[in-house]
Amino acid sequence: MEPESRKEPMDSLTSILVPIHREGHRFVIIFAAVTVVLFLIWYPLGWVGVFLTLWCLYFFRDPDRVTPKREGLVISPADGVVNMITEASPPPELGLGDMRRTRVSIFMNVFNCHVNRSPMAGKVVRVAYRPGQFLNASLDKASEDNERNSLVIERADGQQIVVVQVAGLVARRIVCDVAEGKALEAGERYGIIRFGSRLDVYLPEGAIPLVAVGQTAISGETVLADSISVEPHHI
C-alpha cells in the first residue's frame, strides 16, 4: 500500500493537472503566443504573460466530479457561491407562465470552474436563448436583463426543473451544447460560460432547498435541494 505521505502530494498534483474544456484551447494558444511576444519585447513583461496563460488554463479546467445519484436530488450546475435564494417566475421565453418558484442563484467569479452541469437526470424539453445586457451577474436584476440561455429538463415522472445560464459583467459568450430532445444524466456537462457569470436554478414545486446564501457550491456534487423529501423547510 502506498504511504499516505506520498499519496497527498499526488492527489494535489492530480487536482491541478486536469483536462481543459475545448472552448479554452484557442484562448490558451493565444495567451501563449502573446507571452512569447512579450518576452521578446521585454523579458520581465513576459512573466506577466506566463501568469495570464496559467490563469487561462486554470479558468478552463474541466475536472471530473462524483455526482450523488439518489432520485429527487437537485445538484448544483455550477461552481460558485450561492448568492440568492428567492421566489421568482421562470424566464418568460420558456412559456411556463407566471407561477413563482424557488430560485437558487449561484455566482461564478473568474477563478471558479465555469463548466455547467445538469442539475438532475431527464430530457431537455425546451431550450431558449435571449440576448440582453451584461450587468454584474451578482445583481438580482441580472436574471431579468442579462443575456441568458434557459433549459427546461423533465424527468420521466413529468417533474420539471429550469436552469438558466446568465452572462455577467465580463462574460461575453454562453455556450450550450445540448438541444431539445437530449437526455441528460444528473451532473452531465452541458455547457460553459466565459468569463464570470451566474446560474439560476428554478426548483420543482415542493423542492426543499438544502443550501444557504453564502455557501460555496461545487458543480456536479453539491446538493441544492430535495424534490421528494416531505420534511418542512424554510428559505
Give the DSSP per-residue string, 92-135. GGG---S--EEEEEEEE-TTS--EEE-SSSEEEEEEEEE--B--
Strand, coil or helix: 148: strand
Please name which of 101, 106, 148 lies closest in space to residue 127, comparing C-alpha atoms.
148
User: Which amino acid makes up residue 65?
Assistant: R
Distance, in Å, from the CA atom of 208 to the CA atom of 74, rounded to the nearest integer, reads: 9
Distance, in Å, from the CA atom of 230 to the CA atom of 120, rounded to the nearest integer, reads: 19
- With a CB cutoff of 8 Å and minimum separation 6, the contacts of 132 are 145, 146, 147, 148, 167
Active-site residue flag, 118: no
Q: Which of 105, 118, 197, 219 is catalytic?
A: 197
Q: Which three cell numbers stand for residue 139?
A: 445583481
Helix axes 25-41, 43-59, angle to 10 degrees: 170
Residues tagged active-site: 197
